[in-house]
Amino acid sequence: MGFAKYMEDICDRYCEGSSLGGPPVQHVQSGDWIERGHSMVQDFISYYHLEKQPLDQISTEGWAGHFNNVKTLQNILIPIKDLLEQHPEAWNVVMVIEDSLRKFFQDVQIHGPLSKSVFQNVYVRSQNIHTRCKNVHRKLDQFRKEVREGSAKEIRESLKQFDEVRDKYERDFKELERYESLVNETKGYWDHFVQLGTVLKVQRQFRPILQNIDRFDLNKIQEKFVVLDHKGGYRLQGASGSGKTLILIHRAARLARENPTRMVRLFTINRVLANLLQSSLEAIPENKPKNLEVEAFYDFLKKSVSHFEPGEKLRLVDHRSGEQMEISWSDFYRKLGDQNARQCPIKKKLSKQTILKFIRKIRTHENGKLDDRRYLREEMVYIQSAYKIPDREQYLTDHRQSRSVVFTKSQKEICLKILQAWEEWLAVGDLCDIDGLPPRAAKYFENPTHLTKIRQLFSTDFVLVDEVQDFSTLEMQLLRKLVADPEKLNCFFLVGDLNQKIYPKHHNSRKGGFDFRGRADILRQNFRNTRQILKAALNLPVTFPPKEDDEGTEIMDPDLSEYNGGRPVVLECKTETHLRVVLDVVQIRSSNRVAVVSENVHFLNDLKREAECLGFFCHELLRNEDLDKWRDQGDTLAANLVVSRLEAVKGFEFDTVIACDLSLGKYPRVGTPDGELWRQSAVLYAALTRARDELIITYVGKPSGFVERMLADVELHKAIDDTKVKQIFSI
């Protein structure tokens, strides 16, 4: 039985009633304070169920207590009145109010369950009851005039009783109206506080985490690119944290819903990011359209090639020995100059003296410190990513884009023969490296009959690409082949950031078949990171700028966000306590989403093992090279600790990022030519800008050259131990 029913009883039974009381008192249960607060405000608006206490037994203290609570709540929220997000003090005001609300809801002992619609219903019914009371009074008054006063004693008694009840009811009703006015005004303040607080947190910390994408609105600039119509291909460059992936997801959903009979494909660089985008699309209102597929481009190519040759011949790991691709290359390279080595196909193409002379030539660079094994492996990737197999002779005369060691034509010929031998070496073990798959797929994409079959099997009308700067020239050519008419409306939409180009692949969109002149734009504003985090991280691309591609694509200088936070913290650790220090920070920040990133694989493995012993749910992000270890680990975004190599963390964001062991000699890797340090700098820049609120860097011994470039913009602590960690990161 609710309030309205009691009021009906007043009218129908002319019962005597006391002043309107309050609702039953309930203790606030555990839970988020803002949810409790929202429930309380909704309770004030909706009024109350009175299921257990008759109206005449409810004490007036309950009403007064509620009234005072609402008044206190209103006083807390009043500073938010007419405050706009552009106001320079908006964030500080929101933080003060949030702190006051937290204390208020810890003390308040009451909240209620009803919704605003219930209150409105009760209020309408109450008004109807009031009208009925007036009608009854009017009819009784009219009847009193029509009968003689002496013979209307019972009627006079009834009227007198009714007048008393009506007076009490109208006092109660006026109190209800006064209460309603107070509550509605307070609710307006509350709604403005929640909306403004959400907007400011989105802007301050890029709060639209991808799994909650439906909760956040795009700004006007971002919305423009979601609804943009264009011919052929369009490229959108976006600074780190600018929302370019958010745009891509909304645009993909828009195209799929507007074209329900046509197929939309969204590609990215690896399986981890593809899973993230997939879960993001599933969180969009109305769910992910069925005609929208999200996939790592490597997985798509492997699936396509497997229709023409056995997929077992495309392995990344030797199924007999368990040997991974990096070990296979080391084994192959070790035997390059060994003409007596068994199963070394290079000896049929080059003499031992020629190979050794070429290797010595590479080693002479960087004062003899160049890592020739790794540099030559990257040269193989460069060739594979730039040319289809029949076109590789062009490599002999083409300018080698973004490669610092100069090769003569004869040395390039040696590189081509080494690449041919490498691919033959892999084929013997039914292996195909990641960068060898696109040239293998090109064989089928260039064949009209096979291409027709691919288009039939994988119907494609619209293609969207994330992290396009890490797609090779050859991969872009294959992308373009997927669509029969690549110049039709909205056919290709590609987003990326050249500051985050992390692979040695050849990347030239014009040679990939795309001409973005007049069909490109740039997003410079960062929304994810605090000013302090981005300012420190920007020292990397400023000091080690990415090499422009042959198109002269502009290198972006992103605009800092408007919001402040603490400066990044750099910790000098000892070898024996390094792991313990990082674990202490992880435990102190256990309420945050934390990522620990490093190129020290042994350190990451030890950390993951120890953290799981402490009860953390850990998730490991994998590179494409590590797909042999792929397994379903559940939702990445549900983990309270993520461990990752630097390059694999791209595309994610975390409250806290801890970049470990950025020590001299560890990162950048020893043997990297000075002219190509920019690529490892880009990898680190991408990893550091995953941090929204807090960035922590550790090193042992001496800091990396990359860290030294940031020292002016960080807070450095030396000789760190457990005690100092707790002082620095006090809760």
Residue 116 or 189, more confident: 189
Please write the tens of the pLDDT for every residue from 503-550.
889 999 999 999 999 999 999 988 888 889 999 999 999 999 887 554
Residue 199 or 602, more confident: 602
pLDDT at 386 over 50: yes
At 33 the pLDDT is 42
Give me the mean pLDDT over the 22-30 stretch: 31
431: three-class secondary structure by DSSP:
strand
pLDDT category at 367 given cuts 50, 70, 90 is: confident
Average pLDDT score over the chain? 78
Give yes or no for a contact between 524 and 495, defined as CB atoms under 8 angstroms apart: no
Cα three-residue angle 25-30-34, rounded to 5 degrees: 90
At 369 the pLDDT is 78
pLDDT at 340 over 80: no
Give the burial class of 652: count Cβ atoms within 10 A of its Cβ; 0-12 exposed, 13-18 middle, 19 or more buried: buried
Query: Among the ranges 181-185, 199-203, 320-324, 339-343, which has the highest mean pLDDT value?
Result: 320-324
- Tell me: cis bond preceding 703? Omega within 30 of 0 counts: no
In this structure, which amino acid lies at residue 172? D
pLDDT at 572 over 80: yes
At 29 the pLDDT is 33
Residue 433 or 134, more confident: 433
Give me the mean pLDDT over the 450-458 stretch: 97
Q: How is the beta sheet containing 654-659 ordered, strand by strand?
A: 618-621, 641-644, 594-597, 654-659, 691-700, 569-573, 715-717
At 53 the pLDDT is 39
pLDDT at 1 over 50: no
At 213 the pLDDT is 36
Residue 183 or 209, more confident: 183
SS3 content of the chain, % helix, strand, coil (to 5): 55, 10, 35
At 32 the pLDDT is 46
At 122 the pLDDT is 46
Among 283, 67, 63, residue whose Cα is nearest residue 181: 67
Please write the tens of the pLDDT for every residue from 56-115.
344 444 455 666 777 787 888 888 887 776 666 777 787 788 777 767 766 654 433 323
At 225 the pLDDT is 95
For residues 587 and 152, what is the distance between their CA atoms, to the nearest angstrom?
83
At 205 the pLDDT is 44
At 355 the pLDDT is 83
At 530 the pLDDT is 87
Residue 716 or 551, more confident: 716
* DSSP string for residues in 122-188: HHHHHHHHHHHHHHHHHHHHHHHHHS-STT-HHHHHHHHHHHHHHHHHHHHHHHHHHHHHHHHHHHH
> Residue 329 contacts by C-beta under 8 Å, 6 or more apart in sequence?
373, 377, 422
Share of the chain above pLDDT 90, in %: 40
Give me the mean pLDDT over the 149-162 stretch: 58
Give me the mean pLDDT over the 574-599 stretch: 93
At 479 the pLDDT is 97
At 83 the pLDDT is 77
For residues 71 and 57, what is the distance between their CA atoms, to the nearest angstrom?
25
At 19 the pLDDT is 32
**Helix H or strand E encompassing 381:** helix 372-386
pLDDT category at 577 given cuts 50, 70, 90 is: very high
Among 362, 372, 373, residue whose Cα is nearest residue 406: 362
Cα three-residue angle 204-89-104, rounded to 5 degrees: 85
Share of the chain above pLDDT 70, in %: 70
Give yes or no for a contact between 517 and 683, defined as CB atoms under 8 angstroms apart: no
pLDDT category at 637 given cuts 50, 70, 90 is: low
At 334 the pLDDT is 85
pLDDT at 565 over 90: no
At 721 the pLDDT is 80
**Helix H or strand E encompassing 244:** helix 244-258
In this structure, which amino acid lies at residue 379? E
403 token code pair: 């490669």
> Residue 698 contacts by C-beta under 8 Å, 6 or more apart in sequence?
570, 571, 572, 573, 578, 581, 582, 658, 659, 660, 661, 662
Among 473, 374, 414, 442, residue whose Cα is nearest residue 673: 374
At 155 the pLDDT is 59
For residues 37 and 168, what is the distance between their CA atoms, to the nearest angstrom?
32
Query: Among the ranges 37-51, 358-372, 707-721, which has the highest mean pLDDT value?
Result: 707-721
For the CA atoms of 266, 270, 275, 280, the dihedral, rounded to the nearest 10 degrees, stands at -50
pLDDT at 17 over 50: no
pLDDT category at 645 given cuts 50, 70, 90 is: very high
Please write the tens of the pLDDT for every residue from 259-312.
999 999 999 998 888 988 888 887 766 667 889 999 999 999 999 999 999 888
Query: Among the ranges 9-13, 184-188, 413-417, which has the highest mean pLDDT value?
Result: 413-417
pLDDT at 138 over 50: yes
DSSP state of 378: H
Please write the tens of the pLDDT for every residue from 400-434.
877 888 899 999 999 999 999 999 989 988 999 99
pLDDT category at 10 given cuts 50, 70, 90 is: very low
* DSSP string for residues in 448-467: HHHHHHHHHHT--SEEEESS
- Which of 25-34, 380-389, 415-424, 670-679 is least confident? 25-34
At 564 the pLDDT is 74
In this structure, which amino acid lies at residue 240? S
